Amino acid sequence: MNNNVGSADKIIRIIIGLVIGGLGIYFQSWWGLIGLIPILTAIFGFCPLYSIIKVNTCKKS
């Protein structure tokens, strides 16, 4: 599994995940669990959708 999520993309994903999770808590809805998806993809640095559509935002080393 190669990394395909860059650092700027990781920050954006974490912010979006926290907002979705916060809204789920505020509205007392289990839909807030969807916020885990962008957070987990940011932590692992791999997005399965990116691999399907051949996108890579990670800098080559």
Residue 59 lies in a domain: no
pTM passes above 0.75: yes
pLDDT at 61 over 70: no
b (16+ CB within 10 A) / e for 2-39? ebbbeeebbeebbeebeebbeebeeeeeeebeebebbb
| Number of domains observed in the structure of the chain | 1
Residue pLDDT, tens place only, 20-52: 999 999 999 999 999 999 999 999 999 999 999
pLDDT interval class at 60 (50, 70, 90): confident
DSSP states along 14-53: HHHHHHHHHHHHHTT-GGGGGGHHHHHHHHHT--HHHHHT
Residue 61 lies in a domain: no
Residue 39 lies in a domain: yes
Tell me the angle at which helices 36-44 and 7-26 cross, rounded to the nearest 10 degrees: 150
Q: Residue 29 sits in which domain range? A: 7-52
Residue 11 lies in a domain: yes
